[in-house]
Amino acid sequence: MRVPMLWRRFVAVKEERTYYAYIVASRSHTFYIGVSGNLHKRAFGHKQKAFGGFSAQYNCNRLVWFERFASPGAAIAREKQLKGWIRAKKIALIEKMNPAWVDLSEGWYVVDPSKDDRAAKTTAGPSTAQAAKSAARFAQDDSSVAEGA
């Protein structure tokens, strides 16, 4: 069976993709340099600590710099170049684009606290058992202070 000419032309056209070299940083300016074909998804993954390792351990979750590329090879080459730079040069690069080190991905996501385990844990407060233990500990501390007075 012969494939119509229009179909062959359509298949031959490559889908244009964008690749990114990026830097995510912590509040203390510890940073992680990486590459991604989906920057929105990768930045969200860093925020959620979906990737174990350095970025999760040091809370590198704010996107502070990125650059677009047409090919993955160019993005990887840029990542390697940046990783070879001294810290001061990397900081100068970030501050040229983002002097205040604001999170460039701020506003990209809306997280529903009811579906986020960590958000639910932080908004729910301590469990009843934890609250009872804390109250008992404080009561002991108060009685020992009263006895010593």
Residue-wise pLDDT for 17-43, tens only, equals: 999 999 999 999 999 999 999 999 999
Tokens of 73: 């090879």
In the 8-state DSSP scheme, what is residue 29? -
Helix count and strand count (H, E) for the chain: 7, 3
pTM, two decimals, is: 0.65
3-state secondary structure of 22: strand
Q: Please report which confidence band the pLDDT of residue 105 belongs to, taking 50, 70 and 90 as the band edges.
A: very high
Q: Count how many Cα atoms sit within 13 Å of the Cα of residue 87 in the half-sphere of its side chain.
A: 5
- The radius of gyration computed from the CA coordinates of the chain, to the nearest angstrom, equals 25
Q: Mind listing the pLDDT tens digit for each residue in 115-143?
A: 655 543 333 333 334 333 433 433 343 33
